[in-house]
A and B are shown apart, each in its own frame.
Chain A
Amino acid sequence: MENNKKQLRIALRNCGFINPENIEDYIAHSGYAALASVLETNDPQATIDVIKKSGLRGRGGGGFPTGLKWEIASKNHADQKYVVCNADEGDPGAFMDRSILEGDPHSILEAMAINGFCIGASKGLIYIRAEYPLAIERLLIAIKQAEEAGLLGRNIFGLGFNFDIELRYGAGAFVCGEETALIHSMEGDRGEPTFKPPFPAQSGYLGKPTNVNNVETFANIPVIILKGWEWFASIGTEKSKGTKVFALAGKIDNVGLIEVPMGITLREVIYEIGGGIKDDRKFKAVQTGGPSGGCLTEKFLDTPIDYDNLIDAGSMMGSGGMIVMDEDDCMVSVAKFYLDFTVEESCGKCSPCRIGNKRLYEILDKITEGKGTMEDLDHLKNLSKVIKDTALCGLGQTSPNPVLSTIENFWGEYVYHVVDKKCPAGQCKALKSYIINPDLCIGCTACARACPVGAIKGEKKMPHEINQANCIKCGACVEKCKFNAISIK
């Protein structure tokens, strides 16, 4: 990865540096040393305090303090408790968990065992997407190796602690990233969320206290224990400590995974690490937080990135997808794209999410078709607020965010679609027309032959013309014209 100066690898510390299928490689990089020290100290509360003081917050999106979550689970007494690793990475455009699982699977197993010891659980479950076959394979190898080495299973390190880890497979449902839905899915049911409380820490998998953490959260644990909470808490901003892994993608020169300290600015990420906008186009927006997040504009480029600043700006951290958009992207279409996703992934249990998001999508579709009215924009705003307030789970409560943030930051673009019936980015098919400039057209017939619907007519060596009623606006003619005679209006 280029530009390492701005980056700091904690969660990704071993990815690409060790052989993930060889436990000795991991052990040589201080692997399982944190587990050994936790078991030797034999004071679960002391370890929970270390995590609490480090300031680590959940990396799956919500940002709940990890140490506090562990403490709640540890204080609920039961004959059996569970540790669950949420590896159901479903945000489109995010692949940090996959990279950690494929590149450093033992770090997750070690952290889960530490978590198990702290809360008094002897069983761990990893809920992983079936779409990640390599990650599954490497986890299975890692579990087997750790069991053979006596680092998982019965009487770990001979210190009397038992801990087993099994895999549970997801089956392609975004909502299963929500912890109550994830637990139902692990029990073999439809992955529908339930109202909290009771929280999983009180009544989770099979009705027992369960602690659910995300892959990246777990990946931080062994390092915090080895290097101390003071070290971890010295990185980042006041309320967001440590680093965050982002999947940088979209209209940018360097795409890929980056790990940066909290508090870095979007400008540093996009221009210094990402190398700026592709083809020297103009920056328009950056989308963070996936379908639950929002689009941030130029005015937020110098805002330090942390959980709270992103929420104040109308977006959220999410699991770390970061999609950069340029002037050719239409923000109404982007909002529609995310709503399309939410409509498809809504589990259907509560009506605000099931019906409300569908209505939001329909209004957005109407606007991109050039049939929107100013009242529609009011409806969008009101409906978004109602869905946020009334939906059952995190999916529904955040699903209007892409609409609200684009309305807030790109109001003019919405109005332009509605009043002028034009799409400034030239993305909305219904709002654009292809026109042949008769002064530039030499009548070579290339466009007429390329047109899939035969909408272009004209004599050879005479300027051609596009029949607007038949044109499907596919753009095939523009690609074929060598004389730049066809323009989009």
Chain B
Amino acid sequence: MSVKIHISQKTRTKIEEICESFSNNTGELINVLHKTQDYLGYLPAEAQEVIAQELGISTAKVYGVVSFYSFFTMIPKGRFPISICMGTACYVRGAERILDEFKHLLKLNVGETGADGLFSLASLRCVGACGLAPVVLVGEKVYGRLATDDVRNIVEEYQNVGFTV
């Protein structure tokens, strides 16, 4: 059965290569998805169709796995992905107030990416930096022991970077 696929030939070839590197083995589906997400930044429906064809499984099965695991996303992240740790240690030290402040300043909900593509907002479960609670990650950079007043500074820091580049 042929499926209409809109992604570029280059992307398609790359995904095929990824599948091939795991010998098109269905047991390696999660590893294939990890590599594909590393490459594209997210897992659009078309990419899942290519993977399904290559591994010889249904698109529904691929989508079932993508939607099951929180690490996989079908929405592209912002240039500066903001993740607020909602682990227990951060929670008892006020992570919820930090999250509310980000929501308020960025006018975004958890799981959304801004229209300008600059920021996306996510909550995650424990980065294992409980000693620094409450913790926020912007990309790979860790901000610890935050108060609500610090949130505006963080947002402005990246807004300035975003506008000057």
Chain A hits for B64, CB < 8 A: 190
Assign chain B's interface to a size class. 35 or more
Chain A hits for B25, CB < 8 A: 188
- Evaluate contact between B68 and A173: CB separation under 8 angstroms: yes
In angstroms, Cα B125 to Cα A132, docked, is: 13
CB of A362 within 8 Å of the partner chain? no
Q: 1/0 per residue B15-34: CB within 8 Å of A?
A: 00000000001111111011
Chain A hits for B5, CB < 8 A: none
Interface size on A, residues (CB 8 A): 46
Known: A92-B125, A95-B130, A171-B34. A250 touches B70 (CB 8 A): no
In angstroms, Cα B67 to Cα A173, docked, is: 11
CB of A207 within 8 Å of the partner chain? no
CB of B155 within 8 Å of the partner chain? no
Known: A131-B127, A325-B92, A329-B92. A169 touches B34 (CB 8 A): yes
Known: A93-B87, A171-B30, A188-B27. A249 touches B133 (CB 8 A): yes
Q: Which residues 207-243 of A have a CB within 8 angstroms of B?
A: none
- Evaluate contact between A247 and B69: CB separation under 8 angstroms: no
Chain A hits for B26, CB < 8 A: 188
CB of A488 within 8 Å of the partner chain? no
CB of B50 within 8 Å of the partner chain? no
CB of A367 within 8 Å of the partner chain? no
Chain B hits for A91, CB < 8 A: 126
- Evaluate contact between A173 and B69: CB separation under 8 angstroms: yes
- Evaluate contact between A95 and B92: CB separation under 8 angstroms: no
- Evaluate contact between B34 and A250: CB separation under 8 angstroms: no
CB of A81 within 8 Å of the partner chain? no
- Evaluate contact between B65 and A93: CB separation under 8 angstroms: no
Known: A90-B125, A185-B30. A171 touches B92 (CB 8 A): no
Chain B hits for A247, CB < 8 A: 130
- Evaluate contact between B34 and A93: CB separation under 8 angstroms: no
Q: Which residues 54-102 of B have a CB within 8 angstroms of A?
A: 64-65, 68-72, 86-89, 91-93, 97, 100
Chain A hits for B71, CB < 8 A: 130-131, 170-172
Choose one: B65, B70, B86, B97; the contact of A190 (CB below 8 Å). B65
In angstroms, Cα B91 to Cα A290, docked, is: 13
Q: Which residues 108-123 of A have a CB within 8 angstroms of B?
A: none
Chain A hits for B89, CB < 8 A: 92-93, 249-250, 255, 323
In angstroms, Cα B124 to Cα A256, docked, is: 20
| A-B interface contact total, Cβ < 8 Å | 104
- Evaluate contact between B131 and A92: CB separation under 8 angstroms: no
CB distance from A403 to the nearest CB of B (A): 15
- Evaluate contact between A347 and B68: CB separation under 8 angstroms: yes
- Evaluate contact between A188 and B128: CB separation under 8 angstroms: no
- Evaluate contact between B100 and A474: CB separation under 8 angstroms: yes
CB of B104 within 8 Å of the partner chain? yes
- Evaluate contact between B88 and A290: CB separation under 8 angstroms: yes
Chain B hits for A249, CB < 8 A: 88-89, 130-131, 133
CB of A187 within 8 Å of the partner chain? yes
Choose one: B31, B97, B125, B130; the contact of A341 (CB below 8 Å). B125
Choose one: A93, A171, A255, A474; the contact of B69 (CB below 8 Å). A171
Chain B hits for A334, CB < 8 A: 92
Chain A hits for B65, CB < 8 A: 188-190
CB distance from B147 to the nearest CB of A (A): 9
CB distance from B153 to the nearest CB of A (A): 16
- Evaluate contact between A251 and B69: CB separation under 8 angstroms: no
CB distance from B89 to the nearest CB of A (A): 4
Q: 1/0 per residue A175-186: CB within 8 Å of B?
A: 000000000010
Q: Which residue of A lies closest to B147 (CB)?
A: A479
Q: Which residue of A lies closest to B149 (CB)?
A: A479
Q: Which residue of A lies closest to B27 (CB)?
A: A188
- Evaluate contact between A171 and B27: CB separation under 8 angstroms: no
In angstroms, Cα B30 to Cα A341, docked, is: 23
CB distance from A377 to the nearest CB of B (A): 23
In angstroms, Cα B104 to Cα A190, docked, is: 35
Q: 1/0 per residue A365-386: CB within 8 Å of B?
A: 0000000000000000000000
- Evaluate contact between B131 and A250: CB separation under 8 angstroms: no
In angstroms, Cα B130 to Cα A198, docked, is: 37
Chain B hits for A172, CB < 8 A: 69-72
Q: 1/0 per residue A90-114: CB within 8 Å of B?
A: 1111110010000000000000000
In angstroms, Cα B129 to Cα A94, docked, is: 9
CB distance from A405 to the nearest CB of B (A): 14
In angstroms, Cα B95 to Cα A337, docked, is: 12
In angstroms, Cα B27 to Cα A327, docked, is: 50
Chain B hits for A92, CB < 8 A: 86-89, 91, 125-126
- Evaluate contact between B88 and A256: CB separation under 8 angstroms: no
Chain A hits for B130, CB < 8 A: 93, 95, 247, 249, 255
Chain B hits for A86, CB < 8 A: none
- Evaluate contact between A323 and B92: CB separation under 8 angstroms: yes
Q: Which residue of A lies closest to B92 (CB)?
A: A250
- Evaluate contact between B126 and A93: CB separation under 8 angstroms: yes
For the complex of A and B, 10 pairs with smallest distance between CB atoms: A95-B128, A171-B69, A92-B87, A249-B89, A172-B71, A188-B29, A172-B70, A249-B130, A93-B88, A171-B71
Could you list which residues of chain B lie within 8 angstroms of chain A, going by C-beta atoms? 25-31, 33-34, 64-65, 68-72, 86-89, 91-93, 97, 100, 104, 124-131, 133, 148
5 extra interface residue pairs, beta carbon distance < 8 Å, beyond A92-B86, A92-B91, A250-B88: A130-B71, A171-B69, A188-B31, A188-B65, A249-B133
17 A-B pairs in the complex with CB atoms less than 8 angstroms apart: A91-B126, A92-B91, A93-B87, A130-B71, A131-B71, A169-B34, A171-B30, A172-B70, A185-B30, A187-B27, A188-B30, A190-B65, A191-B69, A249-B131, A249-B133, A255-B133, A452-B104
